[in-house]
Amino acid sequence: MDDSDISGMTFEQAMAALEQVVNQLERGEVALDQSVRLSERGAKLKERCAMLLKEAEERVEKILLGEGGVPAGTVAVEGL
């Protein structure tokens, strides 16, 4: 099983692939060596999802609070 495709996956693609891995493992219909490879792929897919989620969170606009904690506008996080 080649994991080189993971680095180019979108968040949605990586989540779908991770769900497939989990489903295969939950069914328990795979040999032990394949279960180990699937678990390793699942870990890499989880890392990809976490990285993409972190990147997205960093790009979200911050809410500027004015006097009394009332939202006064937004400012883009650096890098947008």
Residue 35 domain flag: yes
Quick: pLDDT tens for 2-48: 788 999 999 999 999 999 999 999 999 999 999 999 999 999 999 99
Residue 27 domain flag: yes
Residue 10 domain flag: yes
Domain around 23: 6-75
Q: Does the pLDDT value for residue 73 go beyond 80?
A: no
How many independent structural domains does the chain possess?
1
> Using H for helix, E for strand and C for coil, what is the string for the chain?
CCCCCHHHCCHHHHHHHHHHHHHHHHHCCCCHHHHHHHHHHHHHHHHHHHHHHHHHHHHCCEEEECHHHCEEEEECCCCC
Quick: pLDDT tens for 51-67: 999 888 777 656 666 67
